[in-house]
Structure 1
Amino acid sequence: MRVVILNVYSARNRGDGLLAELAVAMGRDAYGADTTFTVAAHDPASFDDTDFGSPVTVLSPFGSAHGALVAIRGAIALITGGRLGFSRRFRAATRDADVLVSVGGAYLRGGFASELVKCLLVHGSQLAHASRLAKRTGWVLLPQSIGPFTGVAHTLVSRWLARAGAVFLRDDKSVREFAGLTNTHRVGDSAVLAIGATGGATGRGADGAGTRTPVRRGLILRALPDAGEYEDNARALLAASDWVPIVQSARGGNNDVLFYRRLGVAAELSLLDAVRDAGIGVCTSVRLHGALESILLGVPAVHLSYERKGFAAYGDLGLPAYVFDARTADPADVLAAVAALESDPAAFWNALKTTADERVQQRALVVGTLAAAGRPA
């Protein structure tokens, strides 16, 4: 079985890297351990040290990560449905694939002009290619937040998505925006489903009993567009407690290190290092997959959400009491939630248990759909 995973960005953003790893894991569950995986990533070199748990080839769909070259080749691929523009290796891999799988995430968005152009050139080109190949090759989109799109862009994206075997959506707004499609399913984010499937939430403190006293507090911050009160509140949060600052993304304009530096903080630790070496016992994260991976590592997390995906994910987990609006949250309320988790995490883990069965069922649906997409018609 040959599987190509599309629409991957860079492992230098840990959230993107995690979603690629989870896509391979679900593909392995669907097709078996001897499956051949190819990951099409904008920044393939960033995955050099990634342990996917299976042999994986990582390549660039455009043969380059250079912005201007990607834009030109993306435009050609978009216009030609992928017949031209993509690298030879990518075209050969997708041509020979048994199944195409678009990774989960929030890369299909067009709320403003520059975002729409980037989306169409980098990701729309891959969707156009996949939708053409879907006539003979299975194609499934893992849990997505899609939109907003309007007018011609909405019509174009809808036309592509309609040709997929299944489109999994991870929030209700995406479901409403693409209500005209008949192949959509509402499930949790890939990392939300992993919490129920892997037992990651049964790490330290999962039963609320016999837990060690947390030593440190982890904090994951990032820059936000239309920040509102966010930066002032972030400064107040930093000043109010002793935190271990954690870096989730260190790439390009999405670089947490630079944002921390603007706040006067030196940061370099990854989340895994913060859990294993710095001994954090609770995490507060503006990045959704920072919060979700923290839970997977057995550390309860408060999430400061800046998009619909965060509120949806914490709702799916049964944890709405632990998510705040990143732009308006009162630092005192966030600190109170952190202190409550430190003193007794039982309520957090027990709430998580109430939704575990549904998450297991949803993951089984996704894996089963992938398996069916790989069978000959």
Structure 2
Amino acid sequence: MKGDILPSISPANRPPHVLILHAYSPSNSGDGLLVDLAIDLVRRVSPEFTYQVVASDADGFDDPRFMQWRSPLKFPRALRRISMALTGVLGPTNEVRKVARDADLIVAVGGAYLRGGSTVESLKSWGAHHGQVKLAARHGDKSVYFPQSIGPYGRLYGARTRKLLGRVRRVYVRDDRTASDLAELSNVERVPDMAILEWARNVDATPIGALGRPVFIARNLGDPRRYYDLLAEVRDSDQFDWAVQATGSANNDAPLTAEYAKAEAPPLASVLGEKTPRIVVSTRLHGSLSSLIAGYPTIHLSYERKGYSAFADLGIPEYAISARDATLPQIAELMERIERDPQKYWESIRAQREQITAAEQRIERDVRAVISGER
């Protein structure tokens, strides 16, 4: 990623400086992609900007612009995670506070880190991210949240979160449930996921031709119902290669994949670098969206609301099916539909391009307005 640490020059002649909140880890390619997309969006508005990032695994990015919320020194990973878990109480370091105060713009990467469908999820969200929401709200006139899935939270935490989000200049959300839950806030706007916005910018590069052997991406699921039976059926069918999309400490798909794959599964990024596209059947949403950006048709085994909303935004809702209830014949039928008429698949998505591009332009206008000093 390009950019420089903020130089020691006066505010009158320095380029805009941006603080990016809520980054996670580069070991999950989906999370790393969202950080890259946040940086790229700001760069399109202000090519000469500089930035710093608050990340859960700052050291993993191997970049001095990435900062820990409470760990300015290099602690072992376990202590870093404990530090992040205490942010709701401890607040940021003085360095993070100063960067936020001096920044011309504060943005939040897109994602689902503010989720709260269960008590455990809410506690994780509060510990690792609530302090960052408070910081953004404190500087709300210059803060923009890129497309999120938020909540649903319990009554008290939900009320507190909505109050803070209401102080932010704009909160973009990427699914219908979040938009409904936050309907009382006038600053909330429903748009597609950041990766979908990126796809729309590269739609003309989408290839149509012969497809290689399909690829399957698995992940662990709570309340799996028949999901693990499906993985066994996929393995026994010998119709798929396997790939790994996430290897982060809390989101490591490699051990599960190794249980079912008959050979070592490569990273998804390696597969997407091949010349011949394949159908990617992915249980991770950003495995599917990364595939679309690379020109690979995809089927998403959705386990959360964000997946269904994303594929509705893309104009192909029928290609997002329940991960917990999907069957191999159901997946095979969808793959056959793509192979029989790939042009129809891509044309359905292309038909959404104008609407998706308009949403991205609205986000860019907000970013431009903040950088130009509109409050």
TM-score by length of 2: 0.89
In structure 1, the residue matched to 2:106 is: 100
Q: CA RMSD in A?
A: 2.0
Alignment of 1:272-287 (within 5 A): 272-277=269-274, 279-287=276-284
1:46 is aligned to 2:54? no
Any idea what SS the aligned residue of 1:276 has? Answer: coil
Using the alignment, how far apart are the partners of 1:277 and 1:225 within structure 2?
A: 33
- Which 4+ stretches in 1 moved above 3 angstroms? 64-75, 264-268, 277-280
Using the alignment, how far apart are the partners of 2:165 and 2:269 within structure 1?
A: 35
Q: Which runs of 5+ in 1 are unaligned?
A: 50-55, 206-210
Q: 1:179 to 1:186 in 2, by over 3 A?
A: same
Q: 1:313 to 1:161 in 2, by over 3 A?
A: same
Using the alignment, how far apart are the partners of 1:156 and 1:265 within structure 2?
A: 48
1:62 is aligned to 2:65? no
Q: Which runs of 5+ in 2 are unaligned?
A: 1-15
| AA in 1 matched with 2:135 | H
Using the alignment, how far apart are the partners of 2:309 and 2:112 within structure 1?
A: 13
Using the alignment, how far apart are the partners of 1:265 and 1:40 within structure 2?
A: 39
Match of 1:130 among 128, 136, 151: 136
Q: Retained in 2: the 8 A contact 1:62–1:70?
A: no
Show CA shifts across 1:305-355 (max 9, x none).
111000000000001121111100121010121133233311110101110
Alignment of 1:230-249 (within 5 A): 230-249=227-246
| AA in 2 matched with 1:132 | R
In structure 2, the residue matched to 1:292 is: 289
TM-score by length of 1: 0.89
1:181 is aligned to 2:196? no
Show CA shifts across 1:245-291 (max 9, x none).
11111122321111112335444412231133484421111110110
Any idea what SS the aligned residue of 1:216 has? Answer: coil
Alignment of 1:81-230 (within 5 A): 85-134=91-140, 138-196=142-200, 198-200=201-203, 202-205=205-208, 211=209, 213-230=210-227
Using the alignment, how far apart are the partners of 1:373 and 1:181 within structure 2?
A: 20
Q: Retained in 2: the 8 A contact 1:74–1:125?
A: no
Using the alignment, how far apart are the partners of 1:69 and 1:281 within structure 2?
A: 39
Count of residue pairs brought into register by the alignment: 356
Q: 1:246 to 1:278 in 2, by over 3 A?
A: farther
In structure 2, the residue matched to 1:208 is: none
| AA in 1 matched with 2:49 | T
Structure 1, 350-359 or 330-339: larger mean CA deviation? 330-339
Q: 1:65 to 1:285 in 2, by over 3 A?
A: farther
Q: Retained in 1: the 8 A contact 2:242–2:266?
A: yes
Q: 1:201 to 1:241 in 2, by over 3 A?
A: farther
Q: Retained in 2: the 8 A contact 1:341–1:348?
A: yes
Using the alignment, how far apart are the partners of 1:297 and 1:73 within structure 2?
A: 33
Q: Retained in 1: the 8 A contact 2:302–2:323?
A: yes
Q: 1:327 to 1:333 in 2, by over 3 A?
A: same
1:375 is aligned to 2:372? yes
Using the alignment, how far apart are the partners of 2:370 and 2:279 within structure 1?
A: 40
